[in-house]
Amino acid sequence: MSQSILNLLPSKLMQLFQACDVETNIEGGDKSLFEAQLNRAYTIKAVESTDKEIVDFLFTLGCYKGESVSVISVLSDTYVIAVKDARYSIDADLSKAILLF
């Protein structure tokens, strides 16, 4: 009994306290990974974010202009993507930073 109550705690807490939503600032008409179809290989047009660090980091993973990327699945607000033979889980915000052709 008490176990099930405790398991619910995280989600209950979420509802009790007003959650602080993360804003997104990437706008524009370009199609991003966020809108990509599952299981289709796309070519990256650009990786754009105000955070240059993450752009550099994505580069070292092989996620940069001209490279191929696919969305494997969408799980609990995170995107599982395939880049250069590896699977990464990225959040929805980051998926908006990866623009596609």
Partner 1 sequence: MKIALAGNPNSGKTTLFNAITGKIERVGNWAGVTISKKEGPIKPAISKSDSQIIAVDLPGAYSMSPFTSEETITRNYVKSAQADVIINVVDSTNLSRSLFFTTQLLQLGIPLVVALNKTDISNKRKTEIDLNQLSEVLGCPVVETTATSGNFNGLEALIATAIELDGHQQSAPFSDVGIDLKNPESVRSFDTKRFDFVKALVSRTVTRPIESNIQTFQDKADRILAHKWLGLPIFAVIMWAVFSISQTHVGPVLADVFVGWIDSLYALVETLMGDEVSPLLSALLLDGIIGGVGAVIGFLPLIMVLFFLLALLEDSGYMARVAVIMDRFFKKVGLSGKSIIPMVIGTGCAIPGIMATRTIQNQRQRRTTAMLTPFIPCGAKLPVIALFAGVFFENAAWVGTSMYFAGIALIIFGALMVVRITGEKGSRSFFILELPEYRIPSVKRAVVSTLSRAKAFVIKAATIILVCNAVVQIMQTFNWQFEVVAEGAADTSILAGIATPFAFILIPLGFGVWQLAAAAITGFIAKENVVGTLAVVYGITNFIDTEELALVSGGADVASIMGLSSVAALSYLVFNLFTPPCFAAIGAMNAELENKKWLWGGVAFQFGVGYVVAFMTYQIGTLLVTGLLGQGFIYGLIASLILVGILVYFVRKGGEDEEQKLELSAA
Partner 2 sequence: MTNIVVAFTILVILSLSVMRILSDKRKGKSCTGCAEGGSCSTKPIQDTGKHSIDKRIKIKQLT
Among 21, 23, 53, 77, contact with partner 2 (rule: CB under 8 A): 53
Please tell me the distance from the alpha carbon of residue 67 to that of residue 79, in angstroms, as a whole number.
18
Residue closer to partner 2, measured from CB, 35 or 56: 56
Binding site for partner 1 (CB under 8 A): 2-3, 6-7, 9-11, 13-14, 17, 19-24, 39, 41, 49, 51, 53-54, 56-62, 64-68, 70, 72-73, 75-78, 80, 82-91, 93-94, 97
Q: How many residues line the site for partner 2 (CB under 8 A)?
A: 3
Residue 56 in the binding site for partner 2 (CB under 8 A): yes
